[in-house]
Chains A and B, each alone.
Chain A
Amino acid sequence: MTLQIFLNDYGLPGALIVLQILAFVVPLLIGVAYLVYAERKVMGAMQLRQGPMTVGAFGLLQTFADAIKLFSKEIIIPSAAHRVVFILAPVLTMLLSMIAWSVIPVNEGWVIADINVGILYLFAISSMGVYGVLMAGWASNSKYAFLGGMRSAAQMVSYEVSMGLVIVCVLLCVGSLNLTEIVTAPRPWWVQVMLLPMFVVFVVSILAECNRAPFDLPEGESELSGGFLVEYSAAAFMLFFLAEYANMILMSAMATILFLGGWLPPFGIEALDFVPGVIWFVLKVSFILFVYIWVRATLPRYRYDQLMRLGWKIFLPFTLIWVLVMAGTLMATNSLPVVQ
């Protein structure tokens, strides 16, 4: 009898949560696989080559082949490395890129945990991503890895500041920290226009936050021969690899929710309402992911001082001023959101 009650109280909800998590994680991992594939294909097209071709039709199974290969290889741990931290780093990175998804609404009500302060949760998780890199860099006990870790720490902390201010701008017009409300809150067109520069800053900042080109200094193949990844191999490497792409998708989803209206049809066109929200969401995320790849294929890597200059001397003052401008405008036009 008590078992029955226990199952009713905790067993069923627990199972439901597990199912919900699976419903998010499985598509996410498949998404990661095809993001890798898409990156290779798109960059191939931009560089006038074919990209993966042989494994499966159009090379569609290439990523899975790579994954199986990496999994079956031996994990090499350098003898001078700090074993625990060395293994913990990729695990932590992967974990963080997964748990952030628990608050992301991909459609009206399609969210695992619709918490009050969802955007803060996302921001907190994304700012913790730096630990994986930092720990990896330190635990490897190698110069290149260490330099990569240090760079990553400085870079991510710098860009988080402007990211935070960008988020504040959005929150000013929305009046809620809940992600669903951020999407559904009405925004006049001129507010959207005013948010446009912040969108640009945000997209550049998430490039830096994900350590993606042109801000891939922590890796820096040409100068650090792989940076924090230099000592990693096989499954551990793959975790980092997966986490990087999962993070890209996460950050794109964040940008979609903050600026592109989440699952709502673009520009509020009601005729497009028949398309399920989740499709719009995926399309919008894909658009930003395409920008990621596009940028990577186009721009050379920034030098470290240029990266810092952009973060501290351009983005930070600009976003700070913009917060003031937005707050002032909203206040002057009396369109600040009202607390219920």
Chain B
Amino acid sequence: MIASLAFYLFSFVLIMSALFVISAKNPVHSVLFLILAFFNAAGLFVLLGAEFVAFILAIVYVGAVAVLFLFVVMMLDVSFADLRRESMQYIPLGLVIGGILLVEMAFMMFAWSPSMMAGGNIAAAAPKDLSNTHALGQILYTQYVLPFQVSGLILLVAMIGAIVLTLRVRPGTLRQKISDQVHVRREDVVEVRKVQSGQGVE
């Protein structure tokens, strides 16, 4: 009973917050609702017994991605009301496409059944006595090592791309050169003079 209560709670909040993400007037509120949605999705994963995925979702999306999202959105100086007005003209098209997708989904839910062979094809679930972190680790580095490694390359390319497109070397900026500072010797910067009183330093 608790589990199903939790399921309905998480699902309800998830759907509502997803709705608010696209309907909130203030973009910062949108991002905050997005975070709430991530959080509830993580809750649903926990209910499914996939706790590792749940917490990775929370750490990566809530803890890092959404923070940067929020960071950027807060700094933007764009009138979102104007943007919204402009995008309103595409609403009919959006509704058509969304409607088609919705119909497809509904169709699939009610009228479709997997192939007779699908049951045999689906990868076996993790063995009972294995925590799902261990189970994931075992297939990630064996069966799925190729997509796993290529995903790493994709992230590398994304990183290179971000740097290539945004890093600019501005002339004239002052930078702290730590090693120079550390390697300063006393003789370079301090000179001890014996000053006769009344004479001053020449």
Taking Cβ atoms with an 8 Å cutoff, the residues of A that contact B are 10, 85, 115-117, 120-121, 123-124, 127-128, 130-131, 134-135, 138, 146, 149-150, 153-154, 156-157, 160, 164, 177, 305-306, 309, 339
Contact = CB atoms under 8 A, between A and B. Distances in A.
B70 interface: yes
A117 B59 CA distance: 12
Contacts of B131: 116
A117 B51 contact: yes
A339 B59 contact: no
B67 A153 contact: yes
B134 to A, nearest CB: 5
Contacts of A130: 63, 67
Contacts of A85: 28-29, 32
Contacts of B130: 339
Contact of B68 (A121, A157, A305, A306): A157
Interface in B147-181: 176, 178
A10 B176 CA distance: 62
Contact of A116 (B28, B75, B133, B178): B133
B55 A134 contact: no
11 contacts: A115-B51, A120-B52, A127-B59, A128-B63, A130-B67, A135-B32, A149-B74, A150-B71, A150-B74, A153-B71, A339-B130
Contacts, number: 72
Across chains A and B, which 3 residue pairs bring their CB atoms closest together, nearest first? A127-B63, A120-B55, A124-B58
B74 A116 contact: no
Given A120-B52, A135-B32, A138-B28, A146 B59 contact: no
A149 B67 CA distance: 11
B62 interface: yes
A172 B102 CA distance: 45
B59 A120 contact: yes
A85 B74 CA distance: 13
B52 to A, nearest CB: 6
Given A153-B68, A160-B64, A339-B134, 10 more contacts: A116-B133, A117-B55, A124-B55, A124-B58, A124-B62, A131-B70, A146-B74, A157-B64, A157-B67, A164-B59
B55 A150 contact: no
Given A120-B52, A121-B55, A154 B63 contact: no
